[in-house]
Amino acid sequence: MLSQELLKKVRQIHIRTRHQVTEAMAGDYKSAFKGRGMEFDEVREYQHGDDVRTIDWNVTARLGHPFVKRFVEERELTVMLMIDASSSGSFGSVSQSKNDVAAEIAALLAYSAIRNNDRVGLIIFTDQVEKFIPPKKGRYHVLRVIREILYFEKPEHSATDITCALQFLQKVCTRRSVVFLVSDFIGAGYDKAMLLASKRHDLIPVTITDPREIELPDIGFLDLLDAETGERILIDTHDPNVRKAFRVLGSRERDDRTRMFRQMKDDAINIFTEKSYVDPLVRFFRMRERRMAM
């Protein structure tokens, strides 16, 4: 049974993200992704302007005047949401934690997919796969997806293993899918698994970053705890050299990650918890739409 607090949170996300899909993203999602291909629809008489390459010569010969084959795009897609629920996602220095933002992004993407009659599936992972929901259609299915994401705010496992999650994806999704991998991508060693997954699927990394992971405030001594390993460290944030070293290290890690995504030709979406996540998503969809039109 779900608590009243969790039910309230599910309803709030449902209302907010449904409104955003209607107002801000109508049409952008649909234009951003190709269907699985073209399928035969009908044969009709040739009309001026039709491509002569579509003429059905068998029907034309039989009926004595030209007919053409008509094809339509097979629009239905499978969208897989892969959500990192490891303990580092519980961190938040602003109004929302990274996990809260991840849940809303997943809801927004799920509603966008359902509005276009696509199927939506879910993989929640830490250092193992915590939950798998096979792709389905429908509004009630989306509500279940949102509920499961919120339910796993505090999983038993705290570490992250993106490689393990991607290997599981390859086993359960044998057909090409659109895969949104939502994580803070803290860690290393997942580049080979991402490369393999991107060869089969349209893999889109969605990176969530908190502002305190970019810049440390000058607040004196700070006792830091690694939520995934349990390691503690005491640092003096009043020391400008400490703040600079933290900033440089974080910048280098983000640059390395960006470079890796580009080498894999993955279109990454960068989300910051103190800013709107709708704008980066809309920009991404429109960028993909322009690329498809070229």
What does the block give as tokens for 114?
Answer: 């359902």
Is residue 124 located within the same domain as residue 196? yes
Residue 24 has pLDDT above 60, yes or no: no
- Three-state DSSP state, 142: helix
Contact between 152 and 130 (Cβ < 8 Å)? yes
Mean pLDDT within 38-48 = 74
Instruction: Give residue-wise pLDDT tens across range 83-122.
Output: 998 877 777 677 788 888 888 888 888 888 887 788 999 9
**Cα–Cα distance measured from residue 112 to residue 21, given in angstroms and rounded to the nearest whole number:** 6
Query: What residues does 124 pair with on adjacent strands?
Result: 83, 131
Is residue 166 located within the same domain as residue 248? yes
Instruction: Give residue-wise pLDDT tens across range 174-197.
Output: 888 999 999 999 878 899 999 999
Is residue 26 located within the same domain as residue 44? no
Is residue 109 located within the same domain as residue 203? yes
Is residue 67 located within the same domain as residue 137? no
Is residue 136 located within the same domain as residue 177? yes
More confident residue, 11 or 181: 181
Find the domain containing 50 and state its range.
Answer: 40-74
Is residue 216 located within the same domain as residue 150? yes
pTM, to two decimals = 0.75
More confident residue, 2 or 185: 185
Mean pLDDT within 251-275 = 86
Which of 74, 92, 125 represents a domain boundary (last residue)?
74
Is residue 49 located within the same domain as residue 173? no
Is residue 19 located within the same domain as residue 67? no
Within 10 Å of residue 119's Cβ, how many Cβ atoms?
A: 18
Is residue 17 located within the same domain as residue 156? yes
| Lowest model confidence (mean pLDDT) among 18-32, 47-61, 94-108, 175-189 | 18-32
Type of residue numbered 239: D
Which of 74, 100, 131 represents a domain boundary (last residue)?
74
Is residue 55 located within the same domain as residue 177? no
Domains identified in the chain, total number: 2
Cα–Cα distances in Å, from 51 out to 47, 66, 68, 69?
9, 12, 8, 10
Is residue 68 located within the same domain as residue 201? no
What local confidence, expressed as pLDDT, does residue 19 receive?
A: 61
| Lowest model confidence (mean pLDDT) among 16-20, 148-152, 209-213 | 16-20
- Mean pLDDT over each residue of the chain, to the nearest integer: 80
At 179, which CATH number? Answer: 3.40.50.410
Residue 14 has pLDDT above 60, yes or no: no
Q: Which of 41-50, 217-226, 246-255, 269-278 ranks highest by mean pLDDT?
A: 269-278
